[in-house]
Every structure is written in structure tokens, then in C-alpha cells.
Structure 1
């Protein structure tokens, strides 16, 4: 397993990490993802650790905290071998204090997460979504307090707009508070919006990307093609309403290219899609998920090899889409290429 720095922080993370949304799954969304109990979760953790995957990502909203509880039980007795990442900020109830990242809510959320996980610290705490109601200084001084208390080691965000992330980074620098080391983002061959604004920000400010749903919400598993409808048993029947949208023709164009590259490399479509992401700028770790051991071992096969430049170019071309203003490709005009050199 390759290990990378998480942005500009000192934390080293595996190129592949494991998302535990399938642990203890209940409800229309998480129940469709998976329902791993403690015994199965422990087996999946075993396989991850054997492969060098030691970062496990969860959230308090995953099955109303059940994911954290099952993960905590699965890593019991080997906490020193793993890194735990969890998220908070999304609504966990209907009360006025059940959402956001105010000081009182954030402190309570961390204490509850520590209890469910059965640990005394969180390696990476991420704010699950931007909370416009909480002043950035209140948020950051609370995170500083949690870090100084040893309850949180590193901090990050998820699904943040670029301006809000930059505002938090600037305030952290100004006051000496903890900087956001990570941004957990949606990024895939059928969802490349991250590249327009958030990727240049991450490269400039040293924020590592943790990629969620790298297979486009299950659309890049190799089971969906032009001639094939969504197969029976696919979670998309139940969860498509929650997924980032994608036009059918764009999806099929990407899958066509993936099929060609998969045949050339002798790898599966998901392995090719994951390997492409692993070579993208600012990506610190790609979060894989699995409902069972077979899926996990398949996804782990995305590392240890590399696509050729020609194969990367084919996938780039097939997945390219026109970004929104002001990120439209005015660089095609004279002068803009010099003003906006490509990231490496």
C-alpha cells in the first residue's frame, strides 16, 4: 500500500481508505448500502489491515450512529493500528441543537462519537457540511479546544464551497488555530466538478482530498452499459434519488472508455476507475466501500499498478465536461494558458 501525506499535515494516510457506511446499515439509504454486523465488520477490517488500509471513515449520521458503534467494536483491541475519521454537522434529529457545528453542538457531537467508537480520540474530525449559522471564529476556537484537549488530532471539512473553506483557512492562519488538513469530496470519472475550483484551492493551500463515492454512486461498477438497464439488486433502484446527477450519454461514454482500458490492462472496470483517481492532483486517499469480502478484495486491486499515459488521456477525454462559469475553458483563448497552468 502506498502512503501519502494528508495535505500539508504530518498525518500519513493510505492511498485507499475504507468507508464504513455499510456498517450497521438501516433506513432507505444506508440499509441499501449494506448491513454489516460486528462480526462481518471485523472481518472486513482484518482484510483492510492485511492490505495496509488503516484509515476507516464514518459519520454520526450513518445509520443514526450505528456505523460508529460497529466500527468501534470491530477495532476493539487494536486501536493503535488504525486511524479513525468521523464527520459531524448534518442533522441527527429535529431539535434546534441537532444540526450544525455551533460550540455546544460540536462538543456534544465529539463526546458522543468518542463514546460510540469506544476511543479517547478521533484522528480526523471533519465537518460534514458548511454551516452558515455558526461564525467561523466560534467554530475554529472550538476545534482548537478539542485538539488541545487531545480528543481530536486533525481537522477537515466535507462538501464545503471553496470560499467557505478559504475563509476558515485564513482565520486559522490569522489566529494560530488548527488548519483544515482534508476536504472529503465527491469526485469520479463521471463527476469532475471538484477540479474546477476546489482542486486548485487544495493545491494552493495544502488541503488533501479524501474522495467519497469514487465509483459515481455505484454507476461505475461495470454492470451498467448502453445496452443494459440498471441490474436487479443494484442499490441505485433505492438510492438514485440521493445521488449526484449524471446524464446517461456522459455515463455511457465514460463506461465505453473504461471497458476499452479494462480489456487492455486485464483489470476490472472499478479498478481502472479507482486507479485513475489515485493519480489525480491533491488526492490523498480514495475511500472505498464494500458490502462483502469479495467487493473489498476487488477494490483493493486498484493499487500496485498504473495506467499508461495513453490510457489516462483516453479516460480524460471521455469524462471531460464543460465546467460552469467562471471556470469555462477560456484558457483556449490566447494568454489564458499562461495565466492558468495545469496542475501536476
Structure 2
């Protein structure tokens, strides 16, 4: 597995990141630990969790799995969501951050987090308060690097500018939803990250399971897409456009003798600016399937075909700006 630098940092991470949202829920503790160990044996070193995954149980399982080789792991977790039933039990205020880091460290059985991420923007807390608190955590040694997730482009740029102006640590990465069927980040976020050298670690790279090919145009009978609401709900995924993209994925899979999941992940691995797609698995078979996306390169012709099939329509101001682009 290839190793990459994460954003504007010297932090070396594997080209795939193992997501642990299902650990302790649809994935048993024993299978979760086996996945982590197999991931490490196959060259992976990047693990992502969050303090709200399965009410903290995911962090506990990850901590147990890595306790004997903690220095080898790049450990990422998140803060922001509701973790206690009181007014300060959510958000990215100094109070909630300082409480949450201690709880995560305890569950993860470690004294530091490699990448501590803001799970989503907080409209109540000023970003300078958040960044100062995170800067203090880095200074104290409890956190090595910071990142964010689910931000607008303006929110990320405001955060970077605040860090630069106050000499706080900078976000080195962002964790957005991004896949062949969810390319909204192409509008502004991708170009911002390339300009500012912010690493991109996409979540839901398989569109909540849609790109695995297990679903047809009929109503799903099982799986995450049966949810009535949420980013992976059937209402959002089952569109004519998405099924046309899935048809292109299935054709590429047949042509290359790969699985649809491997094709969808390999497309992301070939996308400029993407550092490490975060894949999850509920079973060991799903894990093995996803790991088959590395160790080979998709032919340019097929990659371009998938890219064109999933590209967003040309929109203002991009089409206007591109019209007047100056050649070098």
C-alpha cells in the first residue's frame, strides 16, 4: 500500500484509511480487531473513528486493538456531536473540546491523538475559540495535528486564515463526503484544498453501499440504503443519474475483472487531491473486497470514462472563469 503525506504536514498515512463507525454495532468486537490487525499487516496505518460512534464503543474497540503497536498507527478521532445531555454536551467550545479529549484518550487507551478533527461546523462557537483550544491541545502534546469535516469551503478558508493570523496550528485535512455519486466538493472545496495543500480524506466513498452493485432500481430490502433519512437514504441515492453512474462502474468492473467496490475506490485513488479514502466494512468479506482496490492502477481510459459519467454539469462561476483562463 502506498504512503502519502497528509496535507501540508510530514504525517505519513496509508492510501486507504480504515473507518470504524460500524465497530461495536454491525461489526463484532472480534471481527473489528481482526480487521484492524489485517489492515496493518497489509500496509495500512491510518484509522478513523469518532467519539459518537456507537456511543464511544468504537473508540474503545480501536484502543484495545492498537494498544500493543500504538506508535505504528496514525489515529484519528473527532469532536463536536452531542455526547452528554446538557447545554455544553455538544459543540466545539473550549469547554466541550477539553472534556471530550479526555474522554477519547481514556477510551482509546492512549495519551495522544494523531489527528483530532472537528466533526462539523458550530454556528455558536467563534472559530478562533475553537482553534485556540485545539492549538493548546497540540502544545500540551495531547494532539499532534488537527483537521475538520463537513465544512463549506468558506468555513475552511476562514479557519485557515484565522490560524495564520493568530499563529495557531492549521487544519491539515478535511473529511468530506465524496464519491462517484457525491461530487459536490468539486464546486469549490477540491480547488481550495489543492491551493492551500489541505489533505482530503473522503467518507462514504462507496455512496453508503450504493456503488457496491448490490442494489437495483427496486426498493432495497436490506442494508444502509433502507434508511428513510440521512446521506445514504434510498431517496437520495436512487436517482436516474446515480444509476447511470453505477452502470458505468459495473461495466468497468466487468472489463477489468474487479468488483464494483474496488472500481469506485480505485477511481478515488486516482483523483488529484485525494489522500486517503475512508472505507468501512461490516464483515471480513467486505473488508477483503475493499482492500482489493490497492496494488493496481486503473487504465486512464476507464478512469476518464468514470470521471466523465459522474462529473457535475458546468456551473457558474466555473464556466465563466474557465472561459477567460490565461494560458501559461
**In 2, Cα distance between equivalents of 1:326 and 1:279:** 26
**Native 8 Å contact 1:7 1:282 kept in 2:** no
**In 1, Cα distance between equivalents of 2:228 and 2:7:** 31
Alignment partner of 1:242 out of 210, 213, 230? 230
- The 5 Å alignment of 1:277-296 reads 277-296=268-287
The corresponding residue for 2:142 is 151
Unpaired runs of at least 5, structure 1:
26-33
Q: Deviations over 1:84-113 (max 9, x none)?
A: 100110122331101111111101111110
The corresponding residue for 1:330 is 320
Number of aligned positions between the proteins:
325
Alignment partner of 2:187 out of 182, 189, 196? 196
- The 5 Å alignment of 1:168-247 reads 168-226=159-217, 229-230=219-220, 232-237=221-226, 239-243=227-231, 245-246=236-237
CA RMSD of aligned residues (A): 1.7
- The 5 Å alignment of 1:1-344 reads 1-25=1-25, 34-37=26-29, 39-226=30-217, 229-230=219-220, 232-237=221-226, 239-243=227-231, 245-246=236-237, 248-322=239-313, 325-327=316-318, 329-330=319-320, 334-335=323-324, 337-338=325-326
Unpaired runs of at least 5, structure 2:
none
Q: 1:127 deviation in Å?
A: 0.1
Q: 1:324 deviation in Å?
A: 6.0
Q: Deviations over 1:100-146 (max 9, x none)?
A: 11111101111110011110000000000001211122111111110
**In 2, Cα distance between equivalents of 1:68 and 1:159:** 20
**In 1, Cα distance between equivalents of 2:281 and 2:238:** 25
Tell me the TM-score normalized by structure 1: 0.90
**Native 8 Å contact 1:193 1:323 kept in 2:** no
Structure 1 segments of 4+ aligned residues over 4 angstroms from their partners = none
**In 1, Cα distance between equivalents of 2:214 and 2:31:** 25
Tell me the TM-score normalized by structure 2: 0.94
Q: Deviations over 1:219-243 (max 9, x none)?
A: 00111234x542x332221x35112
**Native 8 Å contact 2:210 2:237 kept in 1:** no
